[in-house]
Amino acid sequence: MENTAPERKKRVLSLIQPTSVPTIGNYFGALKNWKNMSEDYDCIYGVADLHAITVHPEPALLRKQSQEMFALMLAIGLDPEKSIVFFQSHVHTHSELAWILNCYAQFGEASRMTQFKDKSQKHAGDVNVGLFDYPVLMAADILLYQADFVPVGADQKQHLELARDIADRFNTRHGNTFTLPEPFIGKVGAKIASLQDPTQKMSKSDTNPKASVSLLDAPDTIIKKFKSAVTDSEACVRYAEGKDGINNLMSIYSCCTGKNFEEIEKEFDGKGYGDFKLAVAEAVVNELKPVQETYAKLINDKAYLNECAKKGAESALRLSYRTLAKVQKKVGLYQL
């Protein structure tokens, strides 16, 4: 009789640093898709708190932001019964595999990472080994779970390539051990730009508070930020080259309403930028309302958050230890 066992779902892994509350750029670009991906893929999502300590955040603040990030991940709809949702630091296999992979990563290739060069300039007084080495920890994050796909932006693509190079080098020397991860190409998330400089992407580290909208901004704050958004002098809502500010607002409105650019142009035909900015702001407020309401409940239920975090860590450890044990054996570490 023919075996009709269901085919294993492809595995997707994504971690996010808890450095500050994500923006709507992070949300529309990636986070909103995470929930949908869990229907089609075997998904693993984590709070990358080990990555966050390379710049020495204040300890109490890191703990607070890590808890907030975990609650937000659940608030956007990640179901801990369907996906593994965990804190990176709760799963010791990440650090252990990272050390072994350090012995398979070349100094030269690590030094070519553009993010290391950028962060070294920003933190010139403290260029620590962790800052240099965190792409190898990122490789361990990915390879531990035999991830098939990793959703990455342009700024992380180089790190995924390094993970593939390390995995390939290890596999060549020790036999097939790691899955070579591919960049996730699914529904493309929108690229949301700064409200104050629409030629740059919206960033949660932007020093101008008017430039970005956080997932936890109050409705009146969101409306004020959109009212001050940079546009142009044409006073016509249409998508065109050279209209970066309006193009960005149209992208945001499209993400919230599902309307395409042609429909948006018709809706605001003959209306000014003031009407359009207010409409975009209200659409964002409505989009974030259920997330904010769920978050408000979760952040005050520490027992539930801890229960979910413990369950996620146990599942992540159980899965990742299979890979670590295999690696330890292949490199010759004495097994008990």
Instruction: Please list the active-site residues.
Output: 119, 201, 204
Determine how many CB atoms are found less than 10 A away from the CB of residue 211.
22
Neighbour order of strands in the sheet with 11-16: 84-87, 42-47, 11-16, 149-150, 182-183
What is the C-alpha separation between 261 and 246, in angstroms, rounded?
A: 11
Using H for helix, E for strand and C for coil, what is the string for 234-289?
Answer: CCCCCCCCCCHHHHHHHHHHHHHHCCCHHHHHHHCCCCCHHHHHHHHHHHHHHHHH
Residue among 293, 207, 216 at smallest CA distance from 21: 216
What is the C-alpha separation between 28 and 260, in angstroms, rounded?
A: 15
Are residues 313 and 305 in contact, defined by beta-carbon separation less than 8 angstroms?
A: no
What is the C-alpha separation between 127 and 132, in angstroms, rounded?
A: 8
DSSP label of 55: G
Question: What count of Cα atoms within 13 Å lies in the side-chain half-sphere of residue 24?
Answer: 30
3-state SS, residue 111: helix
**144 token code pair:** 């531990």
Are residues 105 and 162 in contact, defined by beta-carbon separation less than 8 angstroms?
A: yes
